[in-house]
Structure 1
Amino acid sequence: MWFTVALITAIFFSIASGQNAFAGAVGFGAAATGGNDGTTVYVTNLNDSGTGSFRDAVSESNRIIEFNVSGYIELASAVSLSSDITINGQTAPDDGIGIMAGEVSASGQNNIIIRNLRIRQGTLDSDTGKSAFNMGDTSNIILDHCSFEYGQWDTVDAVGAVNITVSNSIIALPIGQQFGAHVETGPSTFYGNLWVSAHNRQPLAKDNTQYINNIVYNYQAAYTTADTSGDFYHDIINNYFIAGPSTTSSGDAFFQVNAGQTVYASGNFIDSNKDGTLNGEADNTVGGATVASTPWADTSLNMAMLSAAEAYTSVLENAGATPRDEVDSYVVSLVKSLGTEGAIIGSQDDTGLSNGGYGTL
């Protein structure tokens, strides 16, 4: 019942705020309209380029992208999105759709909606300076129910991004730098996401940020502001940080939060004992930051409908692209071990999954 109530509340909140990306959209990216007034274009093959390809479909603005095929699209080079588009991965049949072996870039674009898309860069991309998803210097972007794995530079790079939301998504198993997400400028919203086995940046928040109902597992450093981030405001509410085999200090759930930051932290839990049971303790101590008595964003408390424990159940059931595939099922199984399984990896091969670690769609 609590999940239904939360969803209804989120839908009401979205409508009341004039947000129109889709029913239930929340946060600063939810005002994006994407290509919803444009032409529907269908991806009809898994080719890297050419007629009917994903690359061709996203090459022009004012489009709604839908899929008549399922499986992986293997990129030979980074693919660039246009502004004013909606990508509906949930329209793909069977196991759904995934992008592998290269970066998906929205760099310099605006007004984009992406849902139910798997983006898995991995070592098949020879350009180690690129990320799984790049939205640098963008505005009005929402990523919902997506799955991001095997990012090399950052999994999600959002330097210079304005008004973005990452919601109900999986950000896991980064390689290379082993980072989750890097955000500058903002504001940004991270809501209901599952972060797994990253060295740091979950996210690196150099902006005014909402961070609500996230689950972070097997971290070395989780929510990070960095000593050079400038002075920003952070609403960190009802998140669960769960130590794993790679966690050397559970207190690094809040990392490099310096005196320049203003933080409203409430309802957060840290499970530090790695004993296979969810039995964390409340922890809202956020370094040397100025402690705020109220959130900076007037929408934050309305979004925080789930407690940290309720968020754990909901996120593990619902985060990521649907239907849940081999890679995401593996990621969730690590989290469910509650401290006994998981590692920060250097290649998708380290997972032992099929298709060279990418999993089979």
Structure 2
Amino acid sequence: MAQIKRAIAFASLLSLGFPLVSAVAFEGAVGFGSIATGGTTSYVVTTLADSGTGTFRDAVSESGRNITFSVSGYIVLESPVSLSSDLTINGQTAPSPGIGVMAREISASGKSNIIIRNFRMRQGNEETDDTKSAFNMGDATNVILDHCSVAFGVYDSIDAVGAVNVTVSNSIIALPIGQQFGAHLETGPSTWYANLWVSAHNRQPLSKGNTQYINNIIYNYQAAYTVADTGGDFSHDIINNYFITGPSTTSASDDYYQIDDNQSVYASGNFLDSNKDGVLNGAAANTVGSAEVLSSPWYSTSLSMASLTAAEAYSYVIANAGASPRDEVDTYVVSTVESLGTEGAIITNQDSTGLSNDGYGTL
């Protein structure tokens, strides 16, 4: 039965044109979103203003653009920003200390072929609509976020209901407020690779789709990898991740949450550190609820992608995840993880961090 389910899942991806080729979005891109093509027409963001010529809002208002930045700092959004299709957002081009947005949602809803790199999205309680997420890519196609930093999400940190061909890699997804949820994806397929998930109540991610979940670090969770009640039959490759409990963790066994017998799972090389003793000393954790156990990954690239052990992934993610250079928020987030069980909290307001700029930190 497991082999049949895996074959059906694989065949369905082929029939819909899902990628079986090397990454094309940029050198080092991985996973299902790596086929995103982005934009080619140059546009330089020259001001931190919310609107007008030279602004981020104007930059993303037309499709086909390849966006760079000559300014650094926070762009304080007065209203949500809707992206166009066929965009590349090169946050790595901003002068030090980097670029980001705060206070409102960034939405790629219904759009396609979007590449976002080295970009900070910090929604927070300046958001006036509690149904909005820090980044929304509902019903989007071919999207990759790499080395991004998403914090203080209100509805979800990342919302991807109905999204197809998604990668979130080398990113920090931390400190959601409001619902206190990390990410919600439906449809898929999706790839979550080498991300740092910190201090969320649940959805790290909630994945109702065929999924690769590889080399992630999940800290101070109440529920981590989640499927929840669903009528869908999905396949999940969960490989070489490290789950680490913290002060807010009420049940270490909720590292895998609500994974029922509709699901097929290949789980290998995962570890759980549950003793909160300040030392990384976990044990193997590859039992995933009542899911049907796969003897090999459902997708062909999963094993080659899982090049790091869980312990090696911890070191790599701690050193590399998020937008570069690290700002005040990400430095704070990483420091709580490095306490290995002794620090961290699930919060309802970014001001609880005690950081500058009403908790948003200063860029």
Equivalent residue number for residue 124 of structure 1: 126
Q: Which stretches in structure 1 are left out of the alignment for 5+ residues?
A: 1-14
Equivalent residue number for residue 90 of structure 2: 88
Equivalent residue number for residue 9 of structure 1: none
Match of 2:333 among 331, 334, 337: 331
Equivalent residue number for residue 23 of structure 2: 19
Secondary structure of 2:101 counterpart: strand
User: RMSD across aligned C-alpha pairs, in angstroms?
Assistant: 1.0
1:1-361 correspondence runs (5 A): 17-35=21-39, 38-228=40-230, 230-361=232-363
Aligned-pair CA distance for 1:228: 2.0
Q: Which amino acid aligns with 1:23?
A: E
Secondary structure of 1:210 counterpart: strand
Q: Which amino acid aligns with 2:206?
A: L
2-structure distance, mates of 1:17, 1:182: 26
Secondary structure of 1:29 counterpart: helix
Aligned-pair CA distance for 1:16: 9.0
2-structure distance, mates of 1:105, 1:16: 28
Aligned-pair CA distance for 1:231: 1.2
2-structure distance, mates of 1:166, 1:238: 16
Q: Which amino acid aligns with 1:334?
A: T
Q: Which amino acid aligns with 1:280?
A: G
Q: Deviations over 1:161-208 (max 9, x none)?
A: 000000000000000000000000000000000000000000000000
Secondary structure of 2:34 counterpart: coil
- Report the TM-score when normalising by structure 2: 0.94
Secondary structure of 1:30 counterpart: helix
2-structure distance, mates of 1:49, 1:206: 36
Q: Which amino acid aligns with 2:21?
A: S
Aligned residues of 1:206 and 1:229 also touching (Cα < 8 A)? no
2-structure distance, mates of 1:247, 1:253: 10
Identity among equivalent positions (%) equals: 72
2-structure distance, mates of 1:74, 1:338: 33
2-structure distance, mates of 1:134, 1:229: 24
- Report the TM-score when normalising by structure 1: 0.95
Aligned-pair CA distance for 1:18: 3.5
Q: Which amino acid aligns with 1:25?
A: A
Q: Where has structure 1 moved over 6 Å in runs of 4 or more?
A: none
Aligned-pair CA distance for 1:227: 1.6
